[in-house]
Chain A
């Protein structure tokens, strides 16, 4: 039980994204190269410099019963929907403890958000100003706290080994999955529900990101606005949704005869210590994270065939990532099919690591790399094999993939997965 080298596998996946209300419809959208980016309608967005985003394709309030939905911030609603799908997909049919499938004290959750319950915070501030303190909802604090999605999923499945929420901006979802892997490796848990969620399509965060000059202002052509690696990219497009995986010790999965999607080889972490929000232009920190992954796992560069890149469609960030990969992998980058799924989903901030892990799991499982759309003219500084427009089959045999996530604050997380 306390071995530090237990193999960790993925046994369930769930997602609700700008492309679909579950992982199957999301995957279908990715393979079809469909964009989830739309115009933001309504007066409250009318005066903003950025009036586009990628909202969840299925409104979570249409999925959850109203008494439950009204006590959850939108970010927690999305997380709960993705977690329920993943839990059922892994073959669990009851809460921990209700049957013998998993004991509550061996089950954890690690679900992150970059921003937390920002809709709740701002909506309740409106209530305070307009109607007074008495009308502020008693659910405000448990709704806005960033650990709310993890805690609510924990309540849903009866997780008692630990309920956690690492916060590292746009790396949060990936950091959550890495943390969950460690929980299983170190013997703290046998099963962990892990992922990321975000719901920040509100005028304030949109205005704030726009003030940073971080977002695309291609308001006239929403579907073409997110264009990683294209020479005319002008920033990211805000997306909304959640992605969750069920991680499990290989031993536990085998004992209950679970379907295994792939193995999680490990994570590589580092911090830039360069600037609070600017990417470090040489990719030094990203390279260090990837090197740490190679040093600490049995991932071999020769088996890498696919990368789900961080690639948010910002001029500097996309370049720094590819530079770092080339530096560490050398010629081995030549056999890596690079996909920037944010070209379709937009950037889900703390949800990105979750959704993109689900996409990477499915890419290995179906042996198909999703496309990158909107690369009309490849930036000449991008020295890598970008999968453009059409999905590309991945090779037979044992193959591995990595999923990158980086966040404001200089956080770098690289996750590695291998086919089974």
Chain B
């Protein structure tokens, strides 16, 4: 079953909270993973793997570099989910 953008944002917020300790309410679509959410390049790999599992989507390594903000990731997942 496809997830809505709202559900994806909620899921990403929980993942970022688990990995970087940022409160879920601060994880918003316009936030940058690196600059705003304390997710460095290594932790970004964890975010991606957790998102793949949760939303049943494949995010190839070459696409990860384009996911600068939470909105970028949400859009990608929305478009590519099964």
Residues of chain A with a CB closer than 8 A to B18's CB:
66
Bound-state Cα–Cα, A139 to B46, Å: 9
Q: Does A330 contact B (CB under 8 A)?
A: no
Q: How far is the CA of A396 from the CA of B7 in the complex (A)?
A: 71
Q: Kindly identify which residue among B20, B43, B49 contacts A134, using a CB–CB cutoff of 8 Å.
A: B49
Contact check, A66 vs B49: say whether CB atoms are below 8 A apart. Answer: no
Expressed in whole angstroms, the Cα–Cα distance for A165 and B52 within the complex equals 38
Chain B residues contacting A137 (CB-CB under 8 Å) are 46
Interface check B19, CB cutoff 8 A: yes
| Contact between chains at B49 and A139 (CB < 8 Å) | no
Q: Which of B14-29 contact A (CB under 8 A)?
A: 18-21
Cβ-closest chain B residue relative to A140: B42
B57 CB to nearest A CB, Å: 13
B45 adjacent to chain A (CB < 8 Å): yes
Q: Which of A107-145 contact B (CB under 8 A)?
A: 134-135, 137-139, 142
Indicate with 1 or 0, residue by residue over A51-67, a CB within 8 angstroms of chain B CB atoms. 00000000000000111
Whether A65 touches B42, Cβ cut-off 8 Å, given contacts A134-B49, A135-B49, is no
Inter-chain contacts of A68 with B (CB < 8 A): 21
**What's the minimum C-beta distance from A338 to chain B, rounded to whole angstroms?**
47
Indicate if the CB atoms of A67 and B19 lie closer than 8 Å.
Answer: yes
Q: Return the chain A residue nearest B46 by Cβ.
A: A138
Determine which of A65, A66, A67, A138 lies in contact with B45 in the assembled complex, contact meaning CB atoms within 8 Å: A138
What's the minimum C-beta distance from B50 to chain A, rounded to whole angstroms?
10
User: What 1/0 flags go to B42-76 for Cβ under 8 Å of A?
Assistant: 11011001001000000000000000000000000
Chain A residues near B19: list those with CB within 8 A: 67, 70
Instruction: Decide if B43 touches A66 in the complex (CB within 8 Å).
Output: no
Work out how many contacts link A and B, with CB atoms closer than 8 A: 23
Q: How far is the CA of A269 from the CA of B31 in the complex (A)?
A: 55
**Least Cβ–Cβ distance between A286 and chain B, in angstroms:** 43
Tell which of A71, A134, A135, A138 has the most Cβ of chain B within 10 Å.
A138
* Complex CA–CA separation, A70 to B18 (angstroms): 10
Interface residues on A, range: 10 to 19
The reply to whether B21 and A138 contact each other, CB–CB distance below 8 Å, is no
B26 to chain A, nearest CB (A): 13
**Interfacial chain B residues near A139, Cβ < 8 Å:** 42-43, 46
Chain A residues whose CB sits within 8 angstroms of the CB of B21 once the complex forms = 65-68
- Closest CB of chain A to B60's CB: distance in Å? 11
Q: How far is the CA of A70 from the CA of B17 in the complex (A)?
A: 12
8 Å CB contact of B43 from A65, A135, A138: A138
Q: Are B20 and A67 in contact (CB under 8 A)?
A: yes
Task: Point out the residues of chain A lying under 8 angstroms from B52, CB to CB.
Answer: 134
Most buried by A among B18, B38, B42, B52: B42
How far is it, in angstroms, between the C-alpha of A137 and the C-alpha of B21 when the chains are bound?
17
Chain B residues with CB under 8 A of A142? 42
Q: Which of A67, A134, A139 has the most CB atoms of chain B within a 10 A radius of its CB? A: A67
CA distance A138 to B49 in the complex (A): 10
Cβ–Cβ < 8 Å partners of B38 in chain A: 67
A336 nearest CB across to chain B (Å): 50
What is the minimal beta-carbon distance from B35 to any residue of chain A, in angstroms?
A: 17
Q: How far is the CB of B20 from chain A (nearest CB, A)?
A: 5
Q: How far is the CA of A271 from the CA of B20 in the complex (A)?
A: 45
- Using a CB–CB cutoff of 8 Å, the interface residues on chain B facing chain A are 18-21, 38, 42-43, 45-46, 49, 52
Known: A68-B21, A139-B42. 7 other contacts (CB 8 A): A67-B20, A67-B38, A71-B43, A135-B49, A138-B46, A139-B43, A139-B46
| A–B complex contacts, Cβ < 8 Å, 10 sampled | A66-B21, A67-B20, A67-B21, A67-B38, A68-B21, A70-B19, A71-B42, A134-B49, A137-B46, A139-B46
